[in-house]
Amino acid sequence: MPSPEPKLICCNVSKIFGSGAREFMASAKADISAEALASAGLVGAVRNVDLEVRSGEIFVIMGLSGSGKSTLVRCLSRLIEPTAGEILFNGENLLAASDSRMIEIRRHQMGMVFQNFALLPHLTVLANVAFPLEVQGIDRSTREARARKMIELVGLSGKENAFPRELSGGQQQRVGIARSLAVEPELWFLDEPFSALDPLIRREMQDEFMRLQSVLKKTIVFITHDFDEAIRLADRIAIMKDGAVVQAGTPEDIVLNPATAYVAEFTRNVPKAKVVRVASIMRQANGAMPNGAATVQAHATVSEAAPVFGDNSEHLGVVDGDSQPVGVLHRADVVDLMMRG
Amino acid sequence: MSARSHFQPLAPAREGSPSRGNSASLIAWGVAIAAFLLLWRFGAEALKWTFDYPKSWQIPLARWIGDAMKWLVNQASFGLFTFTDLTRFIASIIDLPYKLALSLLSTGFLSGQGSSAVQILPPLSWIAVIAIVTMMGLHAGGRRLALIVGLCFGFLAVFGQWQSAMVTLASILVAVPLSVVAGLLLGIAAYRWPRFEKALTPVLDLMQTIPVFAYLVPILFLFGFGPTAAVVATLIYAMPPMTRISTLSLHSVPSEIHDLGKMIGCTRRQMTWRVLVPSAKDSLMVGVNQVIMLSLNMVIIASMIGAGGLGFDVLAALRRLDIGAGLESGLAIVALAVALDRLSQAYAERAGAPGTTGIVGGSFVARNPYTLAALAIVLLTGLAGLALPFVQTYPESLRLSTGSFWSNVVAWINVNFFDTFEAIKNAVLLNVLVPFKRFLGGLPWLGVTGLLAFAGYRLGGIRLALVVSILAFLIAATGQWEKATITVYLCGISVMLAMLIGIPIGILAAERERLWSWVRVIIDTLQTLPSFVYLMPAVMLFRVGDFTAMIAVVAYSIVPAIRYTVHGLTKVDPRLIEAGRAMGCTPWQILTKIKLKLALPEIMLGLNQTIMFALSMLVITALVGTRDLGQEVYIALTKADTGRGLVAGLAVAFIAIIADRLISAGAARTKARLGLA
């Protein structure tokens, strides 16, 4: 389980576009529904969002285009100034930070990957990756050594002297990832990093991303419009609609208990067995574990556990990360879940 | 003033003007036109002041400007130093790099003053200059480009234009970097502070629409007569597009790049110079090309205030009607223009292409083969030139001249076809030009102003109506109305002709790939020619007068008419054409019912550009004896009358701005109606 200590807390954050937005927020604090805003001639890109991103977790913000997810992530890094609310990063209120303090924070503690890569066209791969360090005034040999390491990490060794235009989309995004990691950020924003890529490459990049995260253990805010991607990558998901978060929770929570019809629409076609973890449907072990029975990890998904059932076994032992028994998985429960689709 | 075609219309098209019912619109137009007709028909006696703006009501703007100028030159002071001191100081700063470039290319490095000067170092030999530009061609675009550039410069040497061409090149070499840097800085400032941009835009509009002649006089007063003043004039003329392109290209840097800069903690300065400007480099290079072409276009006009060089040769030849010599010097400017245009375009494209600049490693020689080769040739020919004079300067005995040939050709044409030309000219003059001129001259200024305001209101709302009517009123109130109608008449006729010829050519070219590739080469070349060059053949064949002016203006302004038509037609969504074909439309129906309809906004922008081109050319045709605002400006120039020149120049600018705003608004409305916006 990831440690519960929060890295980034976002309280009541709103971003209202239009003139007089601040006055509106001050006067009508209670009601910032889409209708109330529209009648005032304003647009609520982000409305009263509360989030908590914990250290070391992958927090996915999922929403369709226009749902405000990109605005929200830019509010979190203060690329866009929120109209109201509070953002605490390591306990420090970002909205109260001075410009120079923000530059400091962004230089050393934050990294961001962009949907369309945002590579500088006039720089080579090496220079692009080293650019954030160059901006900090780090000397050439140090920054290039670090950049080379990052390029190696994302598997682009040998392409150091290529220009962005000479790379494929997937390779370009690898450069983007390497660049965002060059400053060794604590908090890593990824704004729809794989949306501009072909489906096959996207899949490959998702795997690559998971591999990187298993090594790096960053705190991640990941934006996507693709529910499957969210389910696949997330420790926790927040689903946004019209600027507000409609549901936040683990992929399991969301798939098993969609809060609204809107969320249910997304979850309907997700095979539950691929999301639900063994721990959620296991039963208490009554007495001793059947000896010799196979065991599965509590955090494995049900679809991963299913093949472990032998032809005749009705139960599987469930163990936690330290191989201590925590419960029993019944075949009937697995079948039941799979039948629900 | 050839460069207008490359950028969008002066005013960003306004959108969202309310669209009204068709019949209501017709009725409103009917009422407006009826009111206008009534005033025109019956107002002549009762409301005489609506026809001739009364002298006593005139705003004495010319006098005010003249007085202000006198004050600036004689009295304005910052305490420690006067305004004139400041301008002369600026002049002396510009003079330094100019002297350097001139020494390098033309005079050599001298010691001492005047005729007692002794040459310490000779200038670059003709071989060295050709070698340098050829190397640049090779470096930027390969062998083909090297050949073109080499041939162009070779032409200058062979035809005896070398000395003048190098003087011209020296001033270009100074004016272009200055314009680029100043334009870029202003553009960045406008990008950074939207309020500054708002204030700057109308200034740029004026700078681009006031005829150059109009501000030559104040520049003369402030900077004195000579190459420096010419550089200043070129700066004012060539900088606005660079400023616009800079702002535009900075705005078009993807927002993600902007976010990136912020996310990695760039300071403001790092953001501008390390992130935004490099990202916008491709489009900025287009601006540099623009500046070069505009500077070359200014060469002849700048020679009126002492630029010397090729421009002076052309002007002198025109004045003594030595067509052959003028043509040759004109062609030399064209050669210079073609060479510099192709070179800068190649560099612009190279800036966009990856791969070649990133070579790391290798020795200094391996990395800089072109620079070293050029340096070697400079040294070798420099040394050889000391012993062998023909290496230093192209030998006179080998020079060619076609001047007398051209003079003979013109003489022959005039002897044999004089009557035919004269007949054509007179027929057009009597049947078209003169009646149209009389018609326009007889319209009441108040009625025209009202009608323009109404059109502005229908097309773009109350703001546009105000802008248009105030500008029109100012033309009348400064006593320029009569001359302005002549400008409008000549411009209008020429634009109509240019559109009548240009649109069909555009339609034909848009359908035929191969034809278009030929037409494009021709109009690209036409566009590199300085506007003066158009005047020469016209004068040769038709001598001076309105007809000649019209021919030159049409020839000059036809390029955008063709270009925009082709552009609009080829931009039409091919799926719509396919749909039309599937429905069984004939090619004619596809052309008239689908393509031309959808290309209309683009063609309107072409019309807009054609008008801008025509107006800028019209002022230059003052040299062949028109009687319009351009002539007024030109007379003011010869009399060094700042106020008179600027007032007439402003009137020209106002006409341009009125036309631009109305047509842009119309195009935007059409676009919105067609759902293309």
The pairing of beta strand A110-113 with beta strand A92-93: unpaired
Q: Per 3-state DSSP, what percentage of chain B is helix, strand, and coil (rounded to 5)? A: 80, 0, 15
Residue A4: per-residue pLDDT: 60
Residues in chain A: 341
DSSP state string for A83-147: SEEEEEETTEEGGG--HHHHHHHHHHHEEEE-TT----TTS-HHHHHHHHHHHTT--HHHHHHHH
Q: Is the Cα torsion angle B111, B116, B118, B124 positive or negative in sign? A: positive
Mean pLDDT of the A225-250 span: 92
Of the candidates B110, B510, B168, B544, the one whose C-alpha atom is nearest the C-alpha of residue B340 is: B168
CB A81 within 8 A of CB A71: no
Give the whole-angstrom CA distance, residue B157 versus residue B165.
Answer: 9
Tell me which architecture the domain covering A274-339 has in CATH: Alpha-Beta Complex (3.90)
Give the whole-angstrom CA distance, residue B616 versus residue B4.
Answer: 10
Domain ranges across chain A: 55-80+98-271, 274-339
Burial class (CB in 10 A: 0-12, 13-18, 19+), A156: buried
Per CB-CB distance under 8 Å, the chain B contacts of A114 are 256, 259-260
Per CB-CB distance under 8 Å, the chain A contacts of B256 are 114-118
Per CB-CB distance under 8 Å, the chain B contacts of A102 are 265
- The ranges of chain B with pLDDT < 70 are 1-22, 44-47, 112-116, 351-367, 677
Does B315 or A131 have the greater pLDDT score? A131
Fold assignment, A55-80+98-271? Rossmann fold (3.40.50)
CB-side exposure of A312: number of CA atoms within 13 Å?
A: 0
Confidence of residue A295 (pLDDT cuts 50, 70, 90): confident
The pairing of beta strand A315-319 with beta strand A325-330: antiparallel
Residue A287: per-residue pLDDT: 60
Per CB-CB distance under 8 Å, the chain B contacts of A131 are 264, 274
Give the whole-angstrom CA distance, residue A264 versus residue A255.
Answer: 8
- For residue B74, give every residue at least 6 positions away whose Cβ sits within 8 Å of its Cβ, in sequence order, or none: B84
**H-helix or E-strand containing A2?**
none
Residue B317: per-residue pLDDT: 83
CB B616 within 8 A of CB B298: no
**Which member of A118, A122, A162 has the closest CB to residue B281?**
A122
CB-side exposure of A253: number of CA atoms within 13 Å?
A: 12
β partners of residue B460: none
Give the whole-angstrom CA distance, residue B305 versus residue B219.
Answer: 9
Per CB-CB distance under 8 Å, the chain B contacts of A118 are 254, 256-257, 259-260
CB B303 within 8 A of CB B167: no
Contact B278 A132 (CB under 8 A): no
Q: State the nearest Cα–Cα gap between B200 and chain A, in angstroms.
A: 24
Summarised one tens digit per residue, pLDDT across range B575-634 is: 888 888 888 888 888 888 888 888 888 898 889 889 988 988 888 888 877 888 888 888
ipTM exceeds 0.90, yes or no: no
What letters, b where the CB count within 10 A reaches 16 and e where it falls short, cover B315-347? bebbeeebbbbbbbbbbbbbbbbbbbbbbbbbb
Cα maximum dimension of chain A:
70
Residue B364: per-residue pLDDT: 64
What Rg do the C-alpha atoms of chain B give, in angstroms?
27
Structural domains in chain B, CATH included, are 85-108+120-353+362-401 (1.10.3720.10), 419-439+479-677 (1.10.3720.10), 443-477 (no CATH)
Per CB-CB distance under 8 Å, the chain A contacts of B278 are 120-123
- For residue A332, give every residue at least 6 positions away whose Cβ sits within 8 Å of its Cβ, in sequence order, or none: A314
Summarised one tens digit per residue, pLDDT across range A301-321 is: 888 888 888 777 778 888 877
Work out the number of other CB atoms within 10 angstroms of the CB of residue B286. 19
Q: What is the pTM of this model?
A: 0.81
Choice among A195-199, A229-233, B17-21 with the minimum mean pLDDT: B17-21
Mean pLDDT of the A34-39 span: 74
Contact A118 B354 (CB under 8 A): no
Summarised one tens digit per residue, pLDDT across range A146-188 is: 999 999 999 899 999 999 989 999 999 999 999 999 999 999 9
Choice among A1-10, A277-286, B14-23 with the minimum mean pLDDT: B14-23
B positions 337-376 inside 8 Å of A (CB): 351, 354-355, 358, 360
Contact A135 B265 (CB under 8 A): yes
Distance (Å) of CA B626 to CA B244, B302, B545, B546: 33, 21, 6, 6
For residue B381, give both structure tokens.
Answer: 């020919």
Contact B274 A183 (CB under 8 A): no
Per CB-CB distance under 8 Å, the chain B contacts of A161 are 358, 360
Give the whole-angstrom CA distance, residue B555 versus residue A158.
Answer: 56
**pLDDT at residue A143 tops 70:** yes
Give the whole-angstrom CA distance, residue B584 versus residue B588.
Answer: 11
CB pairs under 8 A between A and B: 73
Contact A118 B262 (CB under 8 A): no
Residue B433: per-residue pLDDT: 87
Write out B107-144 in H/E/C secondary structure: HCEEECCHHHCEEEECCCCHHHHHHHHHHHHHHHHCHH
Per CB-CB distance under 8 Å, the chain B contacts of A193 are none
Contact A116 B254 (CB under 8 A): yes
Mean pLDDT of the A115-120 span: 91
Residue B586: per-residue pLDDT: 87
Summarised one tens digit per residue, pLDDT across range B428-486 is: 888 888 888 888 888 888 888 888 988 998 888 889 999 999 999 998 888 888 889 99
- For residue B434, give every residue at least 6 positions away whose Cβ sits within 8 Å of its Cβ, in sequence order, or none: none
**Which member of B264, B265, B279 has the closest CB to residue A121?**
B279
Q: State the nearest Cα–Cα gap between A298 and chain B, in angstroms.
A: 39
Give the whole-angstrom CA distance, residue B346 versus residue B292.
Answer: 13
**Which member of B260, B265, B267 has the closest CB to residue A114?**
B260
CB A162 within 8 A of CB B360: no
What is the pLDDT of chain A when averaged over all its residues? 87
- For residue B599, give every residue at least 6 positions away whose Cβ sits within 8 Å of its Cβ, in sequence order, or none: B565, B568, B569, B571, B572
Per CB-CB distance under 8 Å, the chain A contacts of B282 are 121
Residue with tokens 């929200």: A72
Contact B265 A77 (CB under 8 A): no
Residue B636: per-residue pLDDT: 86
CB B376 within 8 A of CB B135: no
Q: What is the DSSP letter of A219?
A: E
β partners of residue A110: A187
Collect all residues from A whose CB is shorter than 8 A from any CB in B: 74, 77, 79, 102-108, 110-112, 114-118, 120-124, 131-132, 134-136, 161-166, 183, 189
Q: State the nearest Cα–Cα gap between A153 and chain B, in angstroms.
A: 20
Residue B363: per-residue pLDDT: 61
Does B564 or A41 have the greater pLDDT score? B564
CB A113 within 8 A of CB A191: yes
% of chain A at pLDDT higher than 70: 95
Contact with chain A for residue B269, Cβ under 8 A: no
Residue B115: per-residue pLDDT: 67
Confidence of residue A246 (pLDDT cuts 50, 70, 90): very high
